[in-house]
Chains A and B, each alone.
Chain A
Amino acid sequence: MLWPRAYVMAWRSGRPRPGTSELRTVQLMISRLFSPAAGRRLLPVALLAATALSACAPSKGPGVINDPYEKQNRENHAVNVALDSHLIKPASQAYGRVLPGPVRAGVSNFAGNLSLPSYVMNDLLQAKVGDAAQNTLRFAFNTVFGLGGIFDPAGALGLHAKSTDFGATLATWGVREGAYLEVVVLGPTTERDLAGTVVDAVTNPVMFLLPNVPRGYPIGVKVGSALGNRYKYNDLVDSVLHDSADSYAQGRLIYLEKRHYELGQKPPAANDPYEDPYAN
């Protein structure tokens, strides 16, 4: 499938808003998760969970997908597909129709700008000084000249974000990937990436830099941005999620290959279909 970034982005770039009945509880959960105080309480737990991962399911060798929880994952996938059909897709269509393109782009830019401090923190944890500098420069430039990040003048100059996360930091530190997981609402991930997502959520520097910002505000922007992505890449997401013969297997393959590429891992020995057309 094409444009894996877009497909993965549609899942990863935010937490889509759940159903109205559970809305209140989930909102509460998320706001607790994102509050600095909760961050301080949860951080040791999350780090512990991450360290425990080094002992998790061993990988089965190159090219073999490590998916011991496939049965549960497929059930979660079915929930995600239903969630998309009944809630996320219609919400994104409404979002896309109500807001004009430039406003959606502004929301997306603003959400992207708010992610940069977290990238910088992870760049430093990975000792990637160049990336840290690039992301810092982009953040400063767009915050100042892009009206707080609503516009993206840095991108026009070729100064793009080097996205990263705590899952990538864990990979740099030698933590193994662990099993593939598909989580309800969050979508495709791995044991290592899920731990990373939790750590990123509770350590987001923006929450510490701006302690007086209303809690729901950056989350609202992220939800808007995620809906914007779902709207923008509608055909692509539909083709993977709803038109594939086995959308679970398709999503899993795209996620893992894309993730390994992002982490700079060498793909398993390139198959040569001329030598063995039946090899994977």
Chain B
Amino acid sequence: MRTDPFRRGILTAAVSGLALAAIPFRASALDLATARALIDQLVGEVNRIINSGETETQMFADFEKVFAKYADVPIIARSALGVAARQASAQQMTAFTTAFQGYLSRKYGRRFREFIGGKIEVTDAHPLNDNYEVVSTATLRGEAPFDLRWWVSSKSGRDLFYNIIIEGVNMLATERTEIGAMLDQNNGNIDALIKQLQTSG
């Protein structure tokens, strides 16, 4: 039997259409290029801050703005709090997330300040399960370059980063350890933890 090339074409189109439909919808919201562009933009802002000659206070304020703009703070905060987040009320989660944002901005802002005079550049990006990993290199004077990785996701509804990996060390994991230890210090009292976070970092 002779196969009609036209019909075969339709069949192929239909099959590939089905295949496309099978790809989860959210994957189309963020692709490799968008993830990379997002971190490119973020890194550009960080580079501007660390070479601006601003005072420490100004820099911390700028870093917090960048953090709030590019990071999925609620998911990072929830992950850091771990299982305790299940017992927290909605109000406690809101207060915790706000306190955590300030704490993390100060803590990481302090570290990024050590980059003054240096430069961060995006070098690569690849899929990471159904999210993306964007690879960047930090160059500092008189030192071998650092490896900085950003995990980007659109699952919050916006393209945001939710983790930083510095030379293999995972921010979500270190903050989970730290916040867990702080909660233990406060005998599991989330309100006391929030209070402590407001002055930490």
Contact = CB atoms under 8 A, between A and B. Distances in A.
Interface residues of B, number: 46
B142 A152 contact: yes
A254 interface: yes
Contacts of B131: 272, 274
Given A155-B142, A273-B75, A246 B172 contact: no
Contact of B79 (A1, A244, A250, A277): A277
B65 interface: no
Which of A3, A270, A273 is most buried by chain B, counting CB atoms within 10 A of its CB? Answer: A273
Nearest to A109: B142
A105 B142 contact: yes
A273 B168 CA distance: 18
B167 A5 contact: yes
B108 A246 contact: no
B166 interface: yes
Given A4-B166, A272-B131, A245 B178 contact: yes
B110 A249 contact: no
Contacts of A259: 168
Given A4-B168, A262-B168, A270 B128 contact: yes
Given A3-B111, A5-B146, A257-B169, A249 B75 contact: no
B43 to A, nearest CB: 15
Interface in A1-29: 1-5
A239 B178 CA distance: 12
B82 interface: yes
Interface in A254-280: 254, 257-262, 267, 270-274, 277-278, 280
B176 A280 contact: yes
A270 B111 CA distance: 24
B169 A244 contact: no
Given A235-B110, A250-B174, A274 B168 contact: no
Given A2-B111, A3-B111, A246 B177 contact: yes
B20 interface: no
- The size class of the interface chain A forms with chain B is 35 or more
Interface string B116-149: 0000000000001111000000000010111100
A258 B165 CA distance: 10
A150 to B, nearest CB: 13
Nearest to B82: A278
B167 A246 contact: no
Given A246-B178, A278-B86, A239 B78 contact: no
B168 A267 contact: yes
Contacts of B174: 1, 250, 253-254
Contacts of A235: 110, 114
A86 interface: no
Contacts of A4: 166-169
A199 interface: no
A202 interface: no
A15 B56 CA distance: 34
B165 to A, nearest CB: 8
A179 interface: no
A236 interface: yes
A40 interface: no
A253 B128 CA distance: 22
A3 B151 CA distance: 18
A160 B75 contact: no
B167 A274 contact: no
A69 B100 CA distance: 33
A245 B185 contact: yes
Nearest to A7: B169
A2 B166 contact: yes
A185 interface: no
Contacts of B22: none
A244 B185 CA distance: 11
Interface in B54-68: none
Interface of B: 75-76, 78-79, 82-83, 85-86, 107-108, 110-112, 114, 128-131, 142, 144-147, 151, 153, 155-156, 162-163, 166-170, 172-174, 176-178, 180-182, 184-185, 200
Interface of A: 1-5, 105, 152, 155, 160-161, 235-236, 239, 243-246, 249-250, 253-254, 257-262, 267, 270-274, 277-278, 280
